[in-house]
Amino acid sequence: MSLSTASGPAAGAPPAAPAIPARPMRFLFSYIKARGWQFGALACVIVAAGSCAVAVQYGMKLIVDAMATENRAAANVWFPLGLFIGLIALESVLWRLGGWLGCRAVVNTGVDIRADLFEHLTGHPMRYFNEHLSGSLGNRITATAGSAGAIFSTFTWNIVPPCVDFIGAVVVLLIIDWHMAVALIAFVALVAGMIVAFGIRGRPLHRAYGEQAARVGGELVDAVSNVWAIKAFTARHRERARMTRQLGIEANAQRRSWMYLEKARVLHDVCLWVLAGSMLTWAIHSWQRGNLTAGDVVVISALTFRILHGSRDLALALVGTTQEFGVIAEMLGIIARPHGVRDPACPRDIRVARGAVRFSGVCYAHPGAPPLFRDFDLDIPAGQKLGVVGPSGGGKSTLLSLLQRLDDVQGGQILVDGKPITEMTQDALRAGIAVVPQEVSLFRRSIRENIGYGNPDATQKQIEAAARAARCESFIAQLPEGYDTVVGERGATLSGGQRQRLGLARAFLKNAPILILDEATSALDTRSEREVQQALLALIAGRTVIAVAHRLSTLARFDRVIVLNGGRIVEDGPPAALRRAGGLFQALWDMQAHAGDAD
């Protein structure tokens, strides 16, 4: 079999997801742009509805002025009345249309945000997930979508309408008395500047609350996922005390954020009290002097109170939105950071075909630790069965991780079928590798879905064939709903041996040229291990196999074994020859043999 290469993106690979913008405003605008027609139509409808609301107030002025004439019989009040009623009806229709458009735009955007953040999150290397609580990461995605939806809704219903009211009031006042219009503009600009400056100063408080809320969510999920340990070590009261402390810290952060918002509201109320009093006093004084009509006073009063209430919503929305921006900014600093392992900018269509693997001059060190691999070399011909053994910390698991590009080497390169793995996409590389780990990850889904996870296009016959090859059929037949039985979280309703055999079935179904066995039988009892070993014999046939084994007897039929110690290969050869050599491999073999005798 040969390795096929071609220029251009990998055939059949999904398009690369765009990078997540690093700033909250750019992040939100990217989704507005993606649904431009929906948000554009929504904005037009909301502006039109707000304009109708202002026009309704002017219609009331026309009615009052028409009624103020001394000749009531000749008063033309019907046209202003018809205009007034028509504007009210049109305003209602526009608001309902805006609600329909907003529902579609905001809800769909929330779906897009969560899907994009999930995809970006899963692109991080494994060390990233070792540094963060999984529950906290999931909570951040949910909270970000909620904050984005709150910002979009707030902007639509609480920010745009008051702005339209203000612009409409300025236009009306320009018609009545331009001095009032200028005064209104100056006063509102002053108040808005004060509120915005006040809100910016409070961002650290809002961000601190968002960070602590995410931390507490992660702690809660971590505790629930380890509930067995809590029960086994009678730690319920200790965990409650720990959780109470964390919740107390979150509550203090929330109170500081909340009270800061209350201070902003007090400042805003005082400013608008001054505005309302000043505008009404001015209007009545001008009416007394004969410069304004009664209708002018009515419309000024109505617009002033509309601006009073609308700007209160606006101020609260602006200050509250800073809190939501704090949540998004915190998320962008954690989840949306650039990936530590990236696909090439212009990947070629390179697929794993034969399964030959070569480590050439590889250098690697875990973060904050001394170098593990220095100029590490290892050549694994296609079809070879290689066992990897050695003391803990020798680099066995890291070797497998680097081959799968769960992390990147810091020097040298890894080649598969003669091509550097950095020249192919991560998905293309991993499509050619099947993995059976020590702890098989199962979803809370049906048996069928868990086996078929290695090949989502597999038919039921193929899934059943893989199950038979992995010795799964006997226990699946005893389950209440057979292949449709939903396993518990992480497969908790199954035994260790059953989970392991499902992992093997998944690997059978994937049918990849390279097979990685990461201590696939170390946690099993003797009977389960025997069943899994029988399935393994069929699985390893015709593939390149790299097996990290805790029980060295499982490597007796392998072509070759290497012994890793401190990131170096200290022994390399057929297992029988290594035993005769009397080195570290034989010492480890004897230790296990003596432990077995003691048992």
50, two tokens = 């707000």
Q: At what angle do helices 294-334 and 203-225 cross, to 10 degrees?
A: 50
- List of the chain residues with pLDDT < 70: 1-18, 65, 68-75, 133-135, 199, 225, 228, 308-313, 315-316, 319, 488-492, 521-529, 531-532, 592-599
pLDDT at position 488 = 67
Residue type, 524: L
DSSP SS3 for 463: helix
CA 256 to chain centre: 27
Residue 386: name the closest of 406, 428, 357 by CA. Answer: 357
- Asked whether 125 and 85 are in contact (CB, 8 A), the reply is no
Neighbours of 368 (CB within 10 A): 5
Candidates 3.40.50.300, 3.40.50.720, 3.90.1110.10, 2.40.110.10; CATH matching 357-598: 3.40.50.300
> In this predicted structure, what is the pLDDT of residue 379?
93
> What SS3 class is residue 545?
strand
Per the listing, tokens 């293309």 go with: 428
Query: Coil, strand, or helix at residue 370?
Result: coil
Helices (runs of H) and strands (runs of E) counted in the chain: 20, 10
Share of the chain above pLDDT 90, in %: 8
Query: What letter does residue 383 receive in the DSSP assignment?
Result: T
Token code pair at residue 270 = 């005082």
Assess contact for 254 and 211: CB atoms under 8 A.
no
What pLDDT score was predicted for residue 205?
81
User: Whose CA is closest to 275, among 297, 299, 314, 306?
Assistant: 306
Report the alpha-carbon distance of residue 472 to residue 5 in Å, rounded: 38
Rounded to whole angstroms, the Cα distance separating 149 from 151 reads 5
Dist. CA 132–CA 128, nearest whole Å:
7
Q: Which stretch of DSSP H or E encloses residue 415? A: strand 411-416
| H/E segment holding residue 514 | strand 514-518
**β-sheet bridge partners, residue 415:** 358, 420
Partner residues linked to 380 by β-bridges: 357
Q: What pLDDT was estimated at residue 257?
A: 80
Alpha helices in 363-488 (DSSP H): 396-403, 426-431, 447-451, 460-469, 473-477
Tokens 């497969």 belong to which residue? Answer: 491
CA 546 to chain CA centroid, Å, is 33
Burial class for 180, CB neighbours closer than 10 Å (0-12, 13-18, 19+): buried
Please compute, for residue 497, the number of CA atoms within 13 A of its CA located in the half-sphere on the CB side.
17
* Residues in CB range of 233: below 8 A, 6 or more apart: none
| Phi and psi torsions of 17, nearest 5° | -70, 140
Q: Report which of 358, 404, 350, 349 is spatially closest to residue 515, judged by C-alpha positions.
A: 404
Domain positions in the chain: 24-334, 357-598
What gap in Å lies between CA 292 and CA 140, rounded to an integer?
56
Q: What is the pLDDT of residues 113-151, one digit of tens each?
A: 988 888 888 888 777 777 776 667 877 888 888 888 888
SS3 content of the chain, % helix, strand, coil (to 5): 65, 10, 25
- The CA distance from 544 to 322, in Å, is 55
Express each pLDDT in 150-188 by its tens digit. Answer: 889 888 888 888 888 778 777 877 777 777 778 777 877
**124 residue type, one letter:** H
The pLDDT score that the predictor gives to residue 10 is 40
Which residue from 296, 284, 340, 315 is spatially nearest to 127, judged by alpha carbons?
A: 340
DSSP string spanning 105-173? HHHHHHHHHHHHHHHHHHTS-HHHHHHS-HHHHHHHHHHHHHHHHHHHHHIIIIIHHHHHHHHHHHHHH
Residue 597: the pLDDT is 43
Q: What is the pLDDT of residue 358?
A: 93
Please tell me the distance from the alpha carbon of residue 251 to that of residue 437, in angstroms, as a whole number.
Answer: 41
State the pLDDT at residue 531.
66
SS3 state at 424: coil
What residue type is 435 in one-letter code?
V
Report whether 531 contacts 469 (CB < 8 A): no
Closest CA to 530 of 509, 500, 503: 500
Q: Are 3 and 351 in contact (CB under 8 A)?
A: yes
What would the CATH number be for the domain defined by 24-334? 1.20.1560.10
Parallel, antiparallel or unpaired: strands 357-364 and 373-380: antiparallel
At which residue do the structure tokens 């609580």 appear? 133
∠ CA 288-311-145, rounded to 5°: 165
CB atoms within 10 A of CB 68: 12
